[in-house]
Structure 1
């Protein structure tokens, strides 16, 4: 998408409002039900199957719910969760729900413990977003936490969203990091 920074910012603001309205039509329970086949599809992605260390996210109420998914896979893979620290995201190992505390921003539960420094061991990063498009562009909340982090990580980047968050085109600028793949619907089994 070409255009001035102001035009792109205005377009992002418009898309965020539209997606917020769409998300508000679903209760948390409905979002959990809608997320199940999408998370099942994520489990079929070859990069997920092969991954030993996966960076997931502890979902906020308006994101595709991941709490049960994180807990399920923490028994088989090392799960890393991002923690908001100032303008950046620190990474910490998920070691159980009882070891999560409310983070400094957004009220997201985050792991306690040392910062995970072995970033080169992360095989897959699962990233939330407000909207994605068919060219693997991602639009976040506008704070650039993930964009700053993803610049320094070489792992496979996988966007995760509901189908209504998948648009023809999202407004992007030079700082927005593309995903390698986006999971947003049921994957057809490979024959």
Structure 2
């Protein structure tokens, strides 16, 4: 059986080889597919993420959320509790380099998870059942555990596998959105 680390190594190597122009175009298609989903259309508040190299780039989605007057949040690392918490961001938010080199707001404006209608989730690999393999810290699993809203993972087609190794603490998402398709995992939308 393939291990989580083997999957991470394989997909991460592929992500490092991505052409920036391809990544930009594919990311725009992912965002278009996501924006057509009912949970996004009806969401008043959306949690996004600050992408790192090789991930779906969400700059255009941040702009779209602002255009549609959706409250936008991103995860901010709490070093005391070793968890991510949500902070509201705007077009004028100033950023700094945070945990794992990921951009975070300089000033945190906390938002309770219950106030967020939809969370957009990154990851390394996914399967069609909504199982997600992240970078290994379990941060998004803890964030999603008990989350009452809608969770959608965004990825490139090559990140979708038949199965990914999972553990009891791994939390699946309700939909997967790639540049070519949307995979409905939960029928609650």
CA distance in 2, matches of 1:65, 1:97: 19
CA distance in 1, matches of 2:92, 2:156: 24
Q: 2:102 aligns with which of 108, 111, 114?
A: 108
Q: 1:20 to 1:12 in 2, by over 3 A?
A: same
CA distance in 2, matches of 1:54, 1:150: 14
- Post-superposition offset of 1:187: 4.3
Q: 1:139 to 1:97 in 2, by over 3 A?
A: farther
Does residue 179 (structure 1) correspond to residue 170 (structure 2)? The answer is no
- Post-superposition offset of 1:33: 1.2
Q: 1:32 aligns with which of 9, 24, 47?
A: 24
Q: 2:58 aligns with which of 66, 69, 75?
A: 66
Indicate the residue corresponding to 2:162 in structure 1. 168
Instruction: Please identify, of 123-132 and 109-118, the stretch whose mean Cα deviation from structure 2 is larger.
Output: 109-118
Q: 1:19 to 1:131 in 2, by over 3 A?
A: same
CA distance in 2, matches of 1:43, 1:117: 22
1:104-132 superposed Cα distances (whole Å, 9 cap, x missing partner): x2222112334423321211011000000
How many residue pairs get aligned? The number is 179
Do 2:73 and 2:111's aligned partners in 1 also have CA atoms closer than 8 Å?
Answer: no
Does residue 15 (structure 1) correspond to residue 10 (structure 2)? The answer is no
- What's the TM-score, normalizing by structure 1? 0.87
- Post-superposition offset of 1:97: 5.5
CA distance in 2, matches of 1:98, 1:134: 35
Give the alignment's Cα RMSD to 1 decimal. 1.8
Indicate the residue corresponding to 2:72 in structure 1. 79
